Chain A
Amino acid sequence: MAIRRVRIFSLFERFWHWSQMLLIMTLMFSGFGLHGFHHLLDFKQAVDLHTLAAFLLLLLWAFSIFWLFTTRNWRHFIPTVKGMWQVLRFYSFGIFQGEHHPYRKAYWRKHNPLQALAYLMLKIVLFPLIWISGLVYLFYFLWRDIPHATQVLDGVALVHTGAAFTIVVFVMIHVYMLTTGHSFKEHVMPMINGFDEVDLTPEEEAYLLKDQPEVLG
Chain B
Amino acid sequence: MRPVLRFFLALLLIAGLAPLETMGEGQWPTPPAEGKPPPQISGPLSGGTGDHTKYEALKQPFATGPDVTKACLSCHTETGKHFMKNIHWTWEYRNPDTGQLLGKKHLINNFCTNARGNEGMCAQCHAGYGWKDESFDFSDETNIDCLVCHDTTGTYYKTPNSKGSPACSVMFEGKPPMDFTLIAQSVGLPERANCGACHFNGGGGDNVKHGDLSSALKNPPRELDVHMDAKGLNFACTACHVTKSHVWAGSRYRVAATDDKGTGKPGQRRDVATCESCHGTAPHKVDSLASFKRNDHISSIACQTCHIPEFARGGVATITNWDWRTAGKTRNGEGYHEHGYTQGNGEHRYTYKSIKGDFTYGENLVPLYRWFNGQMHYTTIDTKFDITKPVAINDFTGSREDGDSRIWPFKKMTTWMPADLGNGTLVYTHLWGEDSDSYWGNYDMGKAIAHGMKEFGLPYSGEHGFVETFSYWPITHMVAPKEDALSCEDCHSKQGRLDGVAGIYIPGRDNNRWLDLIGIIAVVGTLVFILGHALIRIVAPNRGKH
Mask: chain B, 501-536; 1 = CB below 8 Å from A; 0 = not: 001110111111001101110110011001001101
Give the shortest distance, in Å, between A105 (CB) and chain B (any CB).
18
Expressed in whole angstroms, the Cα–Cα distance for A97 and B546 within the complex equals 8
Q: Assess the A96–B542 pair: CB atoms within 8 A.
A: yes
State whether B510 touches A165 (Cβ < 8 A). no
- Tell me, yes or no, whether B412 is within 8 Å of chain A by CB: no
A171 to chain B, nearest CB (A): 10
Residues A97 and B530 in contact in the complex (CB < 8 Å), given A36-B511, A42-B488 = no
Closest residue to B509 on the A side, CB-wise? A36
- Among the interface residues B400, B487, B504, B520, which one has the most CB atoms of the partner chain A within 10 A? B504
CB of A43 within 8 Å of the partner chain: yes
Chain A residues contacting B520 (CB-CB under 8 Å) are: 165
Complexed CA–CA distance, A195 and B520 (Å):
37
Say what secondary structure dominates the interface of chain A. Answer: helix
A115 to B508, CA, bound (A): 35
Instruction: Give the A-B contact count at a CB cut-off of 8 A.
Output: 107
Residue on A with the closest CB to B507? A34
The 8 Å CB contact of B493, one of A36, A100, A157, A176, is A36
Q: For residues 64 through 105 of chain A, which have their beta carbon under 8 Å from a beta carbon of chain B? A: 95-100
User: A residues 164-186 with Cβ under 8 Å of B?
Assistant: 164-166, 168-169, 172-173, 176, 179-180, 182
With CB as the reference atom, state the residue of chain A lying closest to B533: A176
Residues of B within 8 A of A172 (CB): 523, 526-527, 530
Count residues of A near B (Cβ-Cβ below 8 Å).
39
Report the Cα distance A120→B503, complex, angstroms: 38
Q: Does A108 contact B (CB under 8 A)?
A: no
How large, as a class, is the contact surface on chain B?
A: 35 or more
What are the interface flags for B353-396 relative to A under an 8 Å C-beta threshold, 1 for contact and 0 otherwise?
00000000000000000000000000000000000000000000
Is B54 positioned at the interface, with any CB of A under 8 Å from its CB? no
Residues of A close to B509: CB separation below 8 A: 36
For A135-152 the 0/1 string (1 means CB < 8 A from B) is 000001100110000100
Judge whether A98 and B544 touch: CB under 8 Å. yes
Write out the residue numbers on chain B whose beta carbons fall within 8 Å of the beta carbon of A169. 522-523, 526
- Beta-carbon contact of A162 and B492 below 8 Å: no
Interface positions of A (Cβ within 8 A of B): 34-36, 39, 42-44, 47-48, 51-52, 95-100, 140-141, 144-145, 150, 153-154, 157-158, 161-162, 164-166, 168-169, 172-173, 176, 179-180, 182
9 contacts between A and B (CB under 8 A): A36-B509, A42-B489, A51-B289, A98-B542, A153-B504, A161-B511, A161-B515, A166-B522, A168-B523
User: What 4 pairs across the A-B complex have the smallest Cβ distances?
Assistant: A165-B519, A98-B545, A43-B488, A141-B296
Where the two chains meet, the residues of B that have a C-beta atom closer than 8 Å to any C-beta of A are 288-290, 293, 296-297, 299-300, 400-401, 403, 487-489, 492-494, 503-505, 507-512, 515-516, 518-520, 522-523, 526-527, 530, 533-534, 536-537, 540, 542-546
